[in-house]
Amino acid sequence: MVQTLGSKPLRAITSSDEIQIYNMKLDICSLMVAERNMTEANKVLIVNFLTSQFKDMSANDLEEAVKMYLGKRLNCDAQYCAKMSAEYLGIILASYRVYKREKQATERNILPSETAEITKSNKDNYNELINYTEKSSKLPEWGSNIYLAAYEYLVNEIIKPTEDEKRIFAEVVRKKLKHEQDFARLEGYTMTARAKVNQLQDILTRPQTFANHCRVEYIKYYLTKKYLK
């Protein structure tokens, strides 16, 4: 029962029992990090912060993220933050979110899907992107999967860029990400700025994540140039 309640994201929590599970996980994390339980006031502040910024995360996600950080399995650094503060957990969860999405994307590519939507061909996804862009005069705010599928059709069937062209585009994307990271650092040591810096660092240092980011950016650039200018 606890495991089931603990798997619900914050946005889906509606009962006091579910909040209690979150409070219990906060105590578990606090014991691992600071060797003490959190005060009730701190729990309320942290839950409110997480509900605002990480409502897609469950109580189990929170515990797993902290365990992974302590085990040095997340690419982020919260050592200069107050332990179990909003800033501390924000940095860890921002990195965990990237890790979790990358893991889910990998699993979707490996495991056969039984849903009709996933059986769409790369060409279907490409045409869907074009139709939306032409009708709405803007790029859709969809997940990366449809962009990645459309990218495969674009580069294999339509424009076929050379490896040098791909490399040059990747370097442009890398410079853009580093510029965004430098700008975020200038904002100081706020939780939002540090989370942004660490999120960008994850993209820059994880080869597969960076490659997929470049692919998404490439087709967005292509669609913008062809259909929005």
pLDDT digits (tens, 9 = 90+) for 20-70: 888 888 999 999 998 888 888 888 899 889 888 888 888 899 999 999 999
- Number of residues in the chain: 229
CA gap 160, 122 in Å, rounded:
15
pTM: 0.51
For tokens 């959190």, what's the residue?
38
Question: Do residues 105 and 129 lie in contact, with contact meaning Cβ atoms separated by under 8 Å?
Answer: no
Do the beta carbons of residue 185 and residue 197 sit within 8 Å?
A: yes
Instruction: Give the number of other CB atoms < 10 A from CB of residue 65.
Output: 25
Res 115: pLDDT: 46
* pLDDT for the residue numbered 70: 92
- Does 188 score more than 60 pLDDT? yes
Site of tokens 């490439």: 218
Q: Summarize pLDDT for 78-128 with one digit per residue, the tens.
A: 888 889 999 999 999 999 998 888 887 776 666 554 444 446 789 998 999
Q: What is the mean pLDDT of the chain?
A: 84
Contact residues for 84 (Cβ-Cβ < 8 A; gap 6+): 26, 29, 30, 33, 34, 38, 42, 46
Domain residue extents for the chain: 2-106, 115-228
Residue 133 has pLDDT above 50, yes or no: yes
30 or 197, greater pLDDT: 30
User: For residue 180, which amino acid is it?
Assistant: E
Reported as type and span, the H/E element at residue 144 is helix 144-153
pLDDT for residue 175: 93
Kindly state the average pLDDT of the residues 145-167: 91
Cα separation, 7 vs 26, in Å, equals 14
